[in-house]
Amino acid sequence: MIADAEIIDRLWSLPDNAARFLRQSVSPRGVFTTDVHTGVLDLLLRSTPRRGEAFVVFQLLSPHLPGNYDLSADTVADVLDLMDRFEVSDVECHRAFGPNWRPVVTHALEVSEQIDDTGSARFDLGADSHRRLGAWAHARDVAVETGRLDQWYRSQAAAWEPRFGNIAAPRPENLITPEEAATIRDAAAALSVGDLVGSSFTPAHFETLVSPWRQATRRQLRLVGSAG
């Protein structure tokens, strides 16, 4: 697993980079001089070459964002103020993703590396969709019972943001299929509540959710190794 310090080091400069990019994209009168106008996620994606870093930091920022996530002449000042004072830390990671933030963020960053380096990988989805949906529902139930539902959903969005396909994102040719996105998000759903494996969310449920991604990762590594 990536060390805490390395996680924070990889993420801490992104709010500053995004603020710099935004300032370069807005005239003194608040008129956008570039096409960055969709929202904060779009801004973050344009400020880092790794979409996983943007997904994670977007979830860290979201609880602090003023109102909605749209960028306009009326919201630029508030967004810049947040970017300028926001500090990526283990405290913020815990606030957004809960006590299991380390494996959650590690998964999000590893997904980004796999997808960005290999393009739209073809995944072996493994377990049937009905079994996975049942396991996902059990994971959601324990998240509800422990008051961690918001963090549980954020963990999945950090792994793959569901709105990503609807914005002007870089490298749209590398977008993955809905089934592949579900594989990525299911693993995050399990990791988020991995400490709650017990009577209602069993080890079998956990493995049902994480094994398809693990199998896909091993398959990609074999493909990369054979190509080399």
Distance between start and end Cα atoms, the chain? 25
Which residues, other chains included, contact 226 with Cβ-Cβ below 8 Å and sequence gap of 6+?
none
What is the Cβ-side half-sphere exposure of residue 116, based on CA atoms within 13 angstroms? 16
> pLDDT tens digits, residue range 53-110?
999 999 999 888 866 667 777 788 888 899 999 999 999 999 999 999 999 999 999 8
Virtual torsion, Cα 148, 152, 153, 156, nearest 10 deg: 170
- Greater pLDDT, 124 or 4: 4
Highest mean pLDDT among 40-54, 133-147, 208-222: 133-147
User: What is the pTM (predicted TM-score) of this model?
Assistant: 0.85
pLDDT of the residue at 197: 96
Supply the angle between the helices 14-25 and 51-61 in degrees, to the nearest 10.
Answer: 90
Highest mean pLDDT among 33-37, 113-117, 135-139, 162-166: 135-139
> pLDDT tens digits, residue range 105-145?
999 998 888 876 544 455 555 557 788 999 999 999 999 99
